[in-house]
Amino acid sequence: MSIVDLDCIRDTDVAEQIRGERLGSLLQALGCFDAARSFHDEIRTGRRSGSVKTSWLARSRISGQSLYCYSSDLYPSFIGLREAASVMGISESAAHRLIAAGRFPFPVARVGRSYKISVRALMHFMDIPDAIVHVDDVENGALHASGGVR
C-alpha cells in the first residue's frame, strides 16, 4: 500500500495517474497482469472501445483516443460464492443461509447448482471504488512493480 493519500492531492491529473499505477502494480503483484495487457491491446487496436467517455477527463487529450476504462473492467464479471464470501469476510455456508433467507446484501445469479456474484456489485457493497484509469498508467505501474521487466 502506498503512503500517498489520494484525497490530499489537489491536482486531479496526478491523482488519476497514481490510481492507475497502483492498480497496475497490484495486478502485477498478483500475477495477473497479462490479462490486463490483453484487454489494453484490444482497446488500442480498436477491437474493443474504452468503457469511459473521455470528454470530461482532462488527461484524455494525452492520447487523443478513448484509452480509459473502469478498474472493474480488468476483473472477471462474475465470481463464485466461495470467493465472494471470502472477500466479504463470511463463510460460504453463512452466505448460503443469507441467500436462502433472502437477506444477501445484493442480487446473486443462480447457475445450475451454484451461485455467481457480480464483481461490480461486490465492489459496491465493500465500498471499493470502481476507479477510472488510463491504460498507460496501469501498464506503467505494472512495469515499475516488475522492476522494469516486461
In a domain, 94, yes or no: yes
Cell of 129: 471504488
Give a yes or no: residue 1 inside a domain. no
**Residue 6 is assigned to a structural domain of this protein:** no
- How many structural domains compose the chain? 2
pLDDT value at residue 108: 95
Residue 56 is predicted with a pLDDT of: 54
**Residues 105-147 pLDDT 10s:** 999 999 999 999 999 999 999 988 888 888 888 888 888 888 8
Answer whether residue 3 is part of any domain. Answer: no
- In this structure, the answer to whether residues 17 and 59 fall within a common structural domain is yes
Residue 119: closest CA among 83, 92, 95: 83
28 pLDDT tier (thresholds 50, 70, 90): confident
Same domain? For 113 and 139 the reply is: no
Strands 68-70 and 132-134: antiparallel
Q: Return the percentage of the chain with pLDDT > 70, whole number.
A: 84
Residue 87 lies in a domain: yes
117 assigned to some structural domain = yes
What average pLDDT does the structure give for the chain?
Answer: 82
Residue 96 belongs to domain spanning: 78-125
Taking the whole predicted model, whether its pTM rises above 0.75 is answered as no
